[in-house]
């Protein structure tokens, strides 16, 4: 029987990382107090540091690469441009075939 994977909110993760950075206790002790494994808390801390531009790590939330807002914006703008080009092509093709059927 498979155990169900626990999911933690973004706020919980950020608060846990804040505790690690501000408290005088060890990461292991804080993880134990929160009821999570130390390696999970360590991954969350690394991911938060990565978002701040300190490391090139992976985000534990969904395991997607850490992408800064500027980079994400560039990617979305490029995708938007490609979609507009495709839409223009479809419109031209539809107009061309509409002329032929008359």
Number of domains observed in the structure of the chain: 2
Instruction: Count CA atoms closer than 13 A to 6's CA, side-chain side.
Output: 8
pLDDT tens-digit readout, 50-79: 776 544 444 444 444 445 788 888 889 999
Three-state DSSP class for residue 34: helix
**Average confidence (pLDDT) over 12-33:** 89
Domain that holds residue 23: 7-66
Q: What is the pLDDT of residue 1?
A: 60
Between 16 and 61, where is the model more confident? 16
Whether pTM exceeds 0.95? no
Instruction: State whether 47 and 25 are in the same domain.
Output: yes
Give dist(CA 38, CA 83) in Å, integer.
44
Q: Does some domain include residue 38?
A: yes
Q: How many helices (H) and strands (E) does the chain have?
A: 4, 0
**Average confidence (pLDDT) over 13-19:** 89
pLDDT more than 70, % of the chain: 82
Query: Which of 12, 13, 7, 38 has the alpha carbon at shortest distance from 25?
Result: 38
């Amino acid at each position: 029987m498979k155990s169900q994977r626990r999911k933690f909110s973004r706020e919980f993760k950020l608060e846990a990382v804040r505790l690690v950075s501000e408290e005088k206790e060890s990461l292991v002790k804080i993880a134990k107090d929160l009821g999570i494994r130390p390696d999970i808390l360590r991954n969350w801390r690394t991911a938060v540091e990565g978002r701040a531009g300190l490391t090139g790590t992976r985000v534990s939330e969904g395991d997607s690469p850490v992408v800064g807002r500027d980079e994400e914006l560039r990617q979305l703008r490029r995708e938007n441009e490609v979609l507009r080009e495709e839409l223009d092509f479809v419109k031209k093709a539809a107009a061309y075939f509409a002329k032929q059927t008359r």
